A and B are shown apart, each in its own frame.
Chain A
Amino acid sequence: MRVELVVNGEPVEADVWPGESLLFTLRERLSFPGSKNACEQGECGSCSVLLDGTLVCSCLVLAAQADGHDIVTVEGLGDGDELHPVQTAFVEAGAVQCGFCTPGLVVAAADLLDRTSGPSEDEIREALSGNLCRCTGYQKIVEAVKIAADRL
């Protein structure tokens, strides 16, 4: 079946299998590999995207449900070659180890800072509670979000 959606501001179309996830469509059909595919059950958060401005796991959205809707992936956070302040802060704080969880965490952190200015550490940890980092680099990740929060 054919779906039409807007990804990072650009209208796109794809032929999808009716049972596939938005994550599969983004990665395998539309060449947006930033969102990562790990647990496929909403446990790890590495596929986090914004669906009509709301943070979701793209593995738990049926691609067909995204038809006619607006998606922002990690690729769409920055402005051209300019990184999003959260991305810059992750680099500066050393919040990236293997990097697999990073796109999901960046999207979740950007969503938090979009809604909340000057979040407390508890608010940051709560906002990132659906994103797993198996290198266990959470301390640096929280520091990165604080750095970004100070600049936004």
Chain B
Amino acid sequence: MEVLRPRSLAEALVVRAEHPEALAIRGGTDVMVELNFDRVRPEAMLDLGEIQELGGWAREDGLLRLGAGLTYAEIEQGELASELPALAEASRTIGSPQIRNRGTLGGNLGTASPAGDALPPLLVDEAEVEVASTARGTRRLAVREFLVGPKRNVLEDDELIVAVLVRPSGSSQTFMKVGPRNAMVIAVCSLAVAADRERGEMRASFGSAGPVPGLVRVALEDSGDLPDAVAAACSPIDDVRGTADYRRHALRVLARRAVDRCLAA
């Protein structure tokens, strides 16, 4: 095994193209578990930790450009927390301080777990993922097109996740998650809801209740229908963290509370 450590995004894309088998790592909160437990033995590791361009966030053409290396600790506080309240709330529920200091938004998209806590907020915010390669340059896809199955996304072998683009939310929005304790929990189920008054609709996205996080829309005046719409749209399974029936029931309850919370704000 070798560790490739590019120092710039341009260099990283060249290295990525030359080593399609390399396993990309930045925060390591998912990847290192796989390595530590002998579940993967890649020929090479591609360390993205030294690439400044992947860090931080900026405003760009009325959008927020969130670097793929932005950590949950950075999202959960300050200006971003008021611009993207649901994403900030979700970030606060992730792991522990140690995990939030390392885990990244790009990593959540790369892992593409149905339980990825950042994903439902990105879906209700209609965020886009920017990916890049040396061969084809940059492309942007909606998050719901990027995620295609449990732990599966459409990233090609020669591509890297570079950023997430999202419009600062004018909507009142929230995130809720069910689990056995507040910290260190993989969601039994999760829900992000946004009341978009400008477009007259409510959007809800659920996690851990289907192969990919799902997105549901209802007209704002029909917000009372949202709980049933979420329960109908989800497709949970029985597993070690909960039953399908429980997840569907919990999502209906969360949706009702989330609607109340969003419309009261």
- Report whether B101 and A54 are in contact in the complex, using a CB–CB cutoff of 8 Å: yes
How many B residues are at the interface, by size bracket? 20 to 34
A106 at the interface (CB under 8 A from B): no
B95, CB-defined interface residue at 8 Å: yes
Q: How far is the CA of A84 from the CA of B140 in the complex (A)?
A: 50
In the docked arrangement, what's the CA distance between A56 and B26, Å? 13
Known: A19-B45, A60-B33. A67 touches B99 (CB 8 A): no
Q: Is A86 in contact with chain B by the CB < 8 A criterion? A: no
Looking at the complex, which of B35-43, B156-164, B203-211, B253-261 is the stretch in contact with chain A? Answer: B35-43
Asked if B184 CB lies within 8 Å of chain A CBs, one says yes
**Interface readout for A86-125 with B: 1 if CB under 8 Å, 0 if not?**
0000000000000000000000100100000000000000
Bound CA–CA A43/B181 (angstroms): 13
Q: Please report the C-alpha to C-alpha distance between residue A141 and residue B97 in the assembled complex, in whole angstroms.
A: 17
> Cβ of A72 < 8 Å from any Cβ of B?
no
B1-9, B12-20, B130-138, B219-227: which lies at the A interface?
B1-9
What residues on B are CB-neighbors of A131 within 8 Å? 96
Among A48, A62, A130, contact of B95 (Cβ-Cβ < 8 Å):
A130
> Are the C-beta atoms of A19 and B1 separated by less than 8 Å?
yes
- CB A110 to nearest CB in B, in angstroms, measures 13
Q: A61-B32, A67-B5 are in contact. Are A42 and B98 (CB under 8 A)?
A: yes
Chain A interface residues (CB < 8 Å from chain B): 1, 17-19, 21, 40-43, 45, 48, 54-57, 59-62, 64-65, 67, 108, 111, 126-127, 129-131
**Interface on B for A, CB 8 Å cutoff?**
1-3, 5, 25, 27-29, 32-33, 35-37, 41, 45, 47, 49, 95-99, 101-102, 182-184
- What are some 11 contacts across the A-B interface (CB < 8 A)? A17-B1, A21-B35, A41-B37, A42-B33, A61-B102, A62-B3, A62-B25, A62-B35, A62-B45, A65-B25, A130-B97
